[in-house]
Amino acid sequence: MKAQTADESASFERPAARSSTVLRSVIAFVGSDRRFIVGGLLLILYILIALTGPGISPHDLNAPDLDVRLGAPTATHWLGTDRIGRDVLTRIIAGSQVSLEVAAGAVLMALMIGAPLGALGSYVGGKIDALVQRVMEGIMAFPSLVLALALVALAGPSVAMLWFAIAFSSIPRYARLVRSGVLTQKEREYVLAAQAMGQTPMRILVRQILPNIMAPIAVQLTLDLARAISVEAALSYLGLGLSVPYISWGTMIRDAQDFLEVAPWLAIFPGLALAGFILAFTLVGDALRDRMDPRMRRSLSRRMV
């Protein structure tokens, strides 16, 4: 048990560094891990595409070209056309925006609900801590996709509802990270010093402790983005995602199902786009995690027990 605590505190030990040191370590870090190079480049590409949007394509997003319905990839339509002749590549680019918007919103929402709960529990302790922990354990018992499915099905899909539905089952992860982080930091000298200086608990939490527990939170955010993208796509595929005018990769694949025999590219390309995006976040998240604490992977498997 003692070894476990030592492990955990090790991951929170890094103090917030100055920007020049950060830059230098970022360069050293990127160079040292292939996962980070591949994932990082892929990620930059996706985010740039999402930011520029379908405007960079010569084709109109919704204008059908009835001469080339279900067209195979050609020089004009690089990834083919759909059942009413819309350009697939243009729609995939538009889909990246929805994917990013939903995933980022969901992950931030999980953080914004989970982190205060974890901080509250660990700082106040006692009955409130126990209550928060029990509630978090209860939420963790839910199959995340099934719960998201039920929530969206009951309340109807909207961007905010999707954020909440996808965020809900991640809340305990942030609550736990922040809780264990605060618990290990609470007794450290810099916190005691801040207390002695008469800083308020709120200020100590936000200004002193938070910067020191950011690293594991950042790792979790990255990995959760991958998960959120995949859940959004699955919900859309099951017909429970955002409807027109939103374009989701999951919906594109769902629509493509009926033409699997005649136009398989309709299902294949959006799926590849999806896999690439998830891959990018997974690679970066894994690399970050291993870098931050080589022992973390072991403690992860132990913690699950």
Partner 1 sequence: MRLQYIAMRLVQLIPMVLVVTMVVFFVMMIVPGDPVMVMLGAVDGAQVSREVYDAMRMRLGLDQPLIVQYLHWLANLLQGDLGTSITHRTAALEVILQRLVPTMYLMVGGLIMAVIIAVPAGVLAAIHNNTKWDHLATAFVVAGISVPTFWLALVAVLIFAVYLGWLPAIGYTRPQDDFVDFLKHIALPMSVVALNIAATVLRFQRQDFLEQMQQDYVRTARAKGLSERLVQWKHVLRNSLITTFTVVGLQMAYLSGLITIVESVFNYPGIGYLLLNSIRTRDFIVVQGVVLFMVFLVIVVNLIVDILYTVLDPRIRYS
Binding characters for partner 1, 91-130, by CB under 8 A (x = yes): ----------------------------------------
Residue 203, token pair as written in the block: 């200020």
The site for partner 1, by CB under 8 A, has a size of: 50
Sequence letter at residue 84: I
Cβ closest to partner 1, residue 205 vs residue 231: 231
Nearer to partner 1, 210 or 274 (CB): 274
* Residue type present at position 182: V
Spacing of C-alpha 200 from chain mean position? 32
- Rounded to whole angstroms, how far apart are CA atoms 23 and 7? 26
Residues in contact with partner 1, shown as a per-residue x/- string from 242 to 261 under the rule CB under 8 A: --------x--x---x--xx
Smaller CB distance to partner 1: residue 1 or 196? Answer: 1
Give the sign of the dihedral formed by CA 14, CA 19, CA 24, CA 27. Answer: positive
Find all residues with CB under 8 Å of 303, minimum gap 6, and list them.
none
Q: Using the rule CB under 8 A, is 153 a contact of partner 1?
A: yes
Q: Is 237 in the site for partner 1 (CB under 8 A)?
A: yes
Q: Which is nearer to partner 1, 52 or 257 (CB)?
A: 257
Smallest gap from Cβ 195 to partner 1, in A, equals 30
* 75 makes contact with partner 1 (CB under 8 A): no
Residue in the structure block whose two tokens are 């990127």: 30
For position 139 contacting partner 1 by CB under 8 A, the verdict is yes
Q: How far is the CB of 32 from partner 1 (least distance, A)?
A: 16
CB count in 10 Å sphere of residue 242: 22
Tell me whether residue 21 or residue 301 sits nearer to partner 1 (CB atom).
Answer: 301
Taking CA 73 as the corner, what is the angle to CA 88 and CA 234, rounded to the nearest 5 degrees? 40
Q: Minimum CB separation from partner 1 for residue 203, in Å?
A: 32
Residue 103 parent element (H or E) = helix 88-124
Alpha helices in 125-261 (DSSP H): 126-140, 144-155, 159-168, 171-186, 189-196, 201-203, 210-212, 214-237, 249-256
Reduced to 3 states (helix: H, G, I; strand: E, B; else coil), residue 281 is helix
Q: Phi first, then psi: give them for residue 81, nearest 5 degrees.
A: -130, 160
Contacts of 278 (CB under 8 A, 6+ apart): 226, 229, 230
Interface residue with partner 1, options 72, 146, 202, 206 (CB under 8 A): 146
Interatomic CA distance for residues 139 and 126, integer angstroms: 20
Determine, following the binding rule CB under 8 A, whether residue 175 of this chain makes contact with partner 1.
Answer: no
Using the rule CB under 8 A, is 61 a contact of partner 1?
Answer: no
For residue 226, state whether it binds partner 1 (rule: CB under 8 A): yes
Minimum separation from the CB atom of position 284 to partner 1 (A)? 12
Which residues contact partner 1 (rule: CB under 8 A)? 1, 134-135, 137-147, 149-151, 153-156, 226, 230, 233-234, 237-240, 250, 253, 257, 260-261, 264, 267-268, 271, 274-276, 278-279, 282-283, 297-298, 301, 304-305
